[in-house]
Amino acid sequence: MTSANKRGLAALIAGLAILPVIALAQSANQPAPFTAAQATAGKTAYDRSCGGCHGMTLEGSGPAVTLKGPTFMAKYGGQPVEKLHADVRRMPPGSASAIDLNTHTAILAYLLQQNGGVAGARELPSVSEAQAGMVVAAPARGGALTAGGAGPGQLVNIAPKGKSRLDALRPVTEADLANPSPNDWINWRRTRDVMGYSPLAQISRANVGKLATAWTWSLPKGANMMAPIVRDGVLFAYSSGDVVEALDATNGQLLWRHQRRLDAGYAHTGKKGLAIAGDKIIVPTSDTHILALDFKTGRVVWDHKVSAGGETALQIKSAPLIVGNKAIIGMNGFAQVEGGNFVLAIDLATGKEVWRFYTIARPGEPGGNSWNDLPLDRRTGGSVWEGASYDPTTKLIYFGAAPSYAVEPLRVNLNRPGVTNDGLYTNSTIALNVDTGKLAWHFQHQKNDQIDQDWAFERQLLDITVDGKTRRVVVTAGKQAIYEALDATTGKYLFSIDLGLQNIITAIDPVTGEKTINPKAVPAPGQPLVRLGLAGICPDALGARNMMTNSYSPATRLLYAPTTDTCVHPFPDGTRWQKNPDPATDGQYGIIQALDLNSRKVAWVKRFAAAPVSGNLSTAGGLLFTGDADRWFRALDERNGRELWKVRLDNEPASYPVTYSVGGKQYVAIGTNEGWLHVQAMRNVAKITPPPNPGATLWVFALPE
């Protein structure tokens, strides 16, 4: 049957009632119609099948995105309704086939209604051919989250001419990146081993109580998780709205500003930061371009579009890693991306792609037999959420890949010779040759993850004692807050340390690291994830660990782990997951644990009412800086966790603190903003009322003169 015949048959099946709609849709783009009855039926179906994850008021929770408001409309407003319909038909993950087409269409009508659509006399058709020309009513122009704007391009505002710190700004060399000056912060976590440690000691345990605000800078509002870059007294901030600003790091004076207008169909997404290389600032954009900006003017040097199937489903959250002449960047996407997510390297001189490594193993290639014989277009996940680390001795980069999002096809092993349902390279530490992008080794921390327990966070490179000998190891933890160490050269499993916040894994083989899963934490075949009702399974989908980064102090030889004490419990009707703390902790959800990797014991524990939402920062002044969902930013004594200083900020410090020095004066900087879903959900955990006018600010602190 020809394509034309198929379309004709589909329209005939849909019924004569939709023919006027087809004619109208084909004549011009029109807001998608729907009836009040459709929207009402859609609400009933939504509450039953979707509300358990996305919230009964569409607010989103954890990895389930918000379905109402500016963020939602930034992605779908003005876009073809069949694009949104296709995304709706994929839900719930792993059990979409349990909902018929008409019910999915009713849910779509409900979403349109909740985002400003007005019901009428015509039903929204279920057949995609009949939806041709229909669009989701576009949001008003001018909002910070409006997609597209005036089309792709750049806006650059240059500060008035005159002498500034830009005059003395020096290019960043490979030697600088390998061994940064204590005065600068030129990698995402200062050093490429992702230690999160600064050798600056002017601000110390003895004087941190005097720390005061040195200056502030108002940032664009929106989801943002940046770590500033600081070089020679110039601070580069990357904010929501894809805004890059160069500021005098001593007083906040604007030196230049660059704002990107996005390609149509994209929305601004929160990112973790920038990179600096030579005389360029490397910028990952929300429409998946990689830009190189001149670091003294903000003007575009080159612009590389990352190409892949399902491009609007792709995002970039992580900050780039710079090694030699390459910028290395990971991609992530919740929805199906043709071929899966990947890491790529860009040539810094030309902006051309050098290599690409897919985090979803391909059929017929190494690891390709670990997907239950699924074709490539049904293999999903492997998102890269955090920046990579790099070891110059091994010349390997290290990063993690998230689980699959369509897990039901992997739930039951087919028991075919040579075929598994492990799902490589999800939940794995992946080591690649930095020059070629070829896989050196991998270690899968948790096979066939059915309940989104990401092992996708930072990989720290540390020298620790193992069996009486000093070894270079890769240390990481997933959402369960089980910390694992691997040999950095070979990937050999060394040991695990469970911080006691989970009951999903019941045993770990001390030789191989193979894990035994609690059978109560695995859904039965055909059982949708949102209907599990796994009372008492810990942690929930947001994890005991998430995107808040560890830090490590060479002085104490302790790793400082930010964690959250939560479990999954359903409401009586089983449709909503709710967080509850351990009653014995008196509602103190937030935890910092100091972990001795040599003895494999916890040195100290500090609890707070609210969960940590910032990365940790350790300094040679004996301090640990950390921020929580109740807007507190604190300095703790790294030896015992005793609180030495704190300040209440205008919003959550949902970013990565940095410290730097200019003219002999040390500063500590942290950005506030809306953060990501994890941050917003953590606020709800402790029943924190957000401020009525939440801000977005770069806060910079220093000791008084």
Summarize pLDDT for 607-657 with one digit per residue, the tens: 998 899 999 999 999 999 999 999 999 999 999 999 999 999 999 999 999
Residue 292 pLDDT > 70: yes
**Do 161 and 292 sit in the same domain of this protein?**
yes
Of the given ranges (10-19, 95-104, 424-433, 597-606), which has the lowest mean pLDDT?
10-19
Q: Residue 3, SS3?
A: helix
Q: What is the pLDDT of residues 588-607, one digit of tens each?
A: 889 999 999 999 999 999 99
CATH of the domain at 129: 1.10.760
Residues 215 and 233 in one domain: no
Tokens of 187: 């990698």
491: in domain = no
Residues 45 and 108 in one domain: yes
> Are residues 668 and 624 located together in one domain of the fold?
yes
110 and 223 share one domain? no
pLDDT (tens digit, 9 = 90+) per residue, 366-387? Answer: 999 999 999 998 898 999 999 9
Q: Look at residues 76, 94, 96, 90 and name the one whose alpha carbon lies nearest to residue 32.
A: 76
Give the integer Cα–Cα distance in Å for 442 and 445.
Answer: 10
CATH number at residue 254: 2.40.10.480
Give me the pLDDT at residue 126, please.
86
pLDDT score recorded for residue 555: 96
Of 363, 404, 242, 382, the C-alpha closest to 308 is 382
Cβ neighbours, 10 Å, residue 323: 21
Half-sphere exposure of 274 (CA within 13 A, CB side): 29
The answer to whether position 141 is within a domain reads: no
Q: For position 556, which CATH number holds? A: 2.140.10.10
Please check whether residue 492 lies inside any domain of the structure. Answer: no
Residues 536 and 555 in one domain: yes
Would you tell me how many other CB atoms lie within 10 Å of the CB of residue 420?
A: 19
Query: Structural domain tally of the chain?
Result: 3
pLDDT band of residue 576 (cuts 50, 70, 90) is very low
pLDDT tens per residue across span 253-287: 999 999 998 877 777 888 999 999 999 999 999 99
| Per-residue pLDDT at 524 | 73
Six-digit token string for 495: 């040991």
- Rounded to an integer, what is the distance from CA 50 to the centroid of its chain? 22
Decide which of 26 and 425 is more confident. 425
Cis before 694 (ω within 30): no
Q: Is residue 630 part of a domain?
A: yes
- Whether residue 220 is contained in a domain is answered as yes
pLDDT tens figures, 534-543: 556 788 778 8
* 559 occurs within a structural domain: yes
195 with 462: CB under 8 angstroms?
yes
**pLDDT at 108 (0 to 100):** 87
* Domain-terminating residue out of 255, 287, 305: 305
Domain boundary among 290, 305, 320: 305
Average pLDDT over residues 694-701: 93
Res 339 pLDDT > 90? no
Share of the chain above pLDDT 70, in %: 84
- Evaluate whether residue 366 is within a structural domain: no
Cβ–Cβ under 8 Å, residues 619 and 182: no
Q: Which of 58-62, 134-138, 473-477, 606-610 has the lowest mean pLDDT?
A: 58-62
Domain annotation covers residue 498:
no
Indicate if the pLDDT at residue 687 is higher than 50. yes
Which among 125, 122, 104 is positioned nearest to 41, based on CA atoms?
A: 104
**Average pLDDT taken over every residue of the chain:** 85
Residues 111 and 42 in one domain: yes
pLDDT greater at residue 445 or residue 129: 445
Task: Select from 425, 424, 422 the least CA-distant residue to 414.
Answer: 422
Report the distance separating Cα 474 and Cα 484, nearest Å. 8
Query: Band of the pLDDT at 13, cuts 50, 70, 90?
Result: very low
Domain termination residue (choose one: 261, 289, 305) = 305
Residue with tokens 């990971």: 330
Does one domain contain both 131 and 219?
A: no
- Is pLDDT above 60 for 152? no
Contacts of 205 (CB under 8 A, 6+ apart): 621, 622, 623, 637, 644
Q: In the prediction, which pLDDT does 569 show?
A: 54
- Which of 24-28, 339-343, 371-375, 698-702 shows the lowest per-residue confidence on average (mean pLDDT)? 24-28
Q: What is the pLDDT, as a whole number, of residue 532?
A: 38
Separation between Cα atoms, residue 269 and residue 467, nearest integer Å: 44
Tokens of 39: 């929207």
Cis-peptide, bond into residue 197, ω within 30° of zero: no
- Looking at the structure, tell me whether residues 41 and 171 fall in a common domain: no
Specify whether 208 is located in the same domain as 293.
no
Mean local confidence (pLDDT), 664-681: 88
pLDDT at residue number 535 = 56
**242 pLDDT more than 90:** yes
DSSP 564: E
**Residue 676, pLDDT score:** 73
Q: What is the pLDDT of residue 64?
A: 62
- Lowest average pLDDT, out of 143-147, 304-308, 323-327, goes to 143-147
- Judge if 548 and 696 occupy the same domain: yes
At position 105, the amino acid (one-letter code) is T
What integer pLDDT is reported at residue 2 of this predicted model?
Answer: 43
Same-domain check for residues 197 and 253: no
Give the separation between CA 620 and CA 204, rounded to whole angstroms: 8
Q: What is the pLDDT of residue 52?
A: 62
Q: Is residue 63 over pLDDT 60?
A: no
pLDDT at 572: 42
CB atoms closer than 10 angstroms to residue 154: 15
Lowest-confidence segment of 58-72, 126-140, 448-462, 645-659 by average pLDDT? 58-72
Tens digits of residue pLDDT in 491-500: 999 999 999 9
- Position with higher pLDDT, 690 vs 144: 690
The mean pLDDT of 41-69, rounded to a whole number, is: 74
Segments forming the whole domain that contains residue 29: 3-135
For residue 121, the 8-state DSSP code is S
